[in-house]
Amino acid sequence: MTSTNAELPLKHVPGHIQHDGHNLTGFIIFLCSESIIFLAFFIGYALLKITSPEWLPDGVEGLETRMPLINTVILVSSSFVAYFAERYLHKENLLGFRAMWLLTMAMGSYFVYGQYVEWSELKFGLGSGVFGGTFYLLTGFHGLHVITGILLMGLMLARSFRPNNYAKGDMGVTAVSLFWHFVDVIWIILYVLIYVWQRTS
């Protein structure tokens, strides 16, 4: 294992390892982890709903589903709009991208507004037993993610005005788009768990 002749020709090609370009991998791993916290909340919610001796608080007979359904349609559609925005970006149509992106943000903001209106009209609070606690925890936590998504989209929109922003690729937009789709899927599950499956006893 000692040193040999310094003039021997080297057989290897100096290897390189990419320093950057791993952002999307890291973000996807992060999203998988994040989905587990929602999964944990869903399972806890379902178990409490099934096993609790008393579910609905006094004076509450259930949840209204019409307005939440409208909110759901708008939020889920916004995912398609975001997809179109990405398509425009791939074709380097910055105007189209910004328009669709802004529309996505508007639809997301409407969802948040609709959620706020629904909350203000509810007759139970956070402390209204397991029903109230789980409702506000789940919808609140999700709402926080929607707001985060809108803020991130705003950041991407602002960055799109920087010259040569997409020289190294558009991983930021891809990641935020992925996050938005994730938030949508979570909402669909939430909607089914909370509004479609209603326990009346």
Partner 1 sequence: MTLTNYDPRVLKAPHPVPGAPDNWKRFFSFNTDAKVIGIQYIGLSLLFLLLGGLLAMVMRGELITPPADLVDPSVYNGLYTMHGTVMLFLFLFPVLNGFNNLLIPTMIGAPDMAFPKLNAAAFWLVPVFAVVLLSSFFVPGGPASSGWWSYPPMSIQNPLGHFINGEFLWILAVAISGVSSIMGAVNFVTTIIRMRAPGMGYFRMPVFVWTAWAAQTLQLIGLPALTGGAIMLLFDLSFGTSFFKPEGGGDPVLYQHFFWFYSHPAVYVMVLPVFGIFSELITVYSRKPLFGYKFVALASFIITFLGLIVWVHHMFYTGTPQWMRNLFMITTMLIAVPTGVKVFAWLGTLWGGKIRLTTPMLFVLGGLVNFIFGGITGVMLGTVPIDIHVGNTYFVVAHFHYIIFNTIGFGVFAGIYHWFPKFTGRMYYEGLGKVHFTLTFIGATLNWLPLHWAGLYGMPRRVASYDPEFALWNVIASIGAFMLGVASIPFILNIVSSWARGAKAPANPWRAIGLEWLLPSPPPAENFEDDIPTVISEPYGYGLGKPLVEDEDFYIRRSMEA
Partner 2 sequence: MNQKRFPVKLFLTILIATAIDLLASIQISRWAYGWLPIPASSAAPYVDDLFSLEVGIGAFIFIGCVGFIIWSVLFSRAEKYDESDGLPIEGNTKLEIIWTVIPFFVVMALAFYSIHVNETLATLGPKQKYDVAINQAPEAVATLDVTREVGPIEVISRQWSWEFIYPSGVRSSELHLPVNLRANFLLSSKDVIHSFYIPAFRLKQDIIPGSVISYSLTPTKEGRFRLRDAMFSGAYFSQNQTDVIVESEENYDAWLTRTAKRPMVKGLSPGTTLYEKRLKEGDRGWATVAPAPPPMVNDPGNPEAPHDS
Nearest CA to 146 out of 67, 79, 85 is that of 79
| 127 vs 106: CA distance, rounded Å | 32
CA dist list (Å): 153 to 92, 97, 130, 192, 198: 18, 12, 34, 27, 34
Dihedral through CA 103, CA 106, CA 112, CA 116, nearest 10? -140
Contacted entry of partner 2, partner 1, none for residue 137, CB cut-off 5 to 8 Å set by kind = partner 1
Supply the minimum distance, in Å, between the C-beta of residue 111 and partner 1: 22
CA quadruple 27, 107, 165, 170: dihedral, nearest 10: 40
Rule CB under 8 A: say whether 162 interacts with partner 1: no
Candidate segments 7-15, 88-96, 102-110, 175-183, binder of partner 1 by CB under 8 A: 7-15
Say which DSSP state 20 is in: S
Does 62 sit near partner 1 (CB under 8 A)? Answer: no
Binding-site size, partner 1 (CB under 8 A) = 48
Contact 175, 27 (CB under 8 A): yes
44 binds, among partner 1, partner 2, none (CB under 5 to 8 A by kind): partner 1
Please tell me whether residue 92 binds partner 2 under the rule CB under 8 A: no
Regarding 2 and contact with partner 2 (CB under 8 A), the answer is no
Q: How many residues does the chain have?
A: 201
Q: Least Å distance between CB 88 and partner 2? A: 55
For the window 47-86, what string marks contact with partner 2 as x by the rule CB under 8 A?
----xxxx--------------------------------
Nearer to partner 1, 51 or 164 (CB): 51
Answer whether 114's CB lies under 8 Å from 47's CB: no
Residues within the interface to partner 1 (CB under 8 A)? 1, 3-4, 6, 8, 10-19, 22-23, 25-26, 29-30, 32-37, 39-41, 44, 47-48, 51-55, 126-127, 129-134, 137, 141
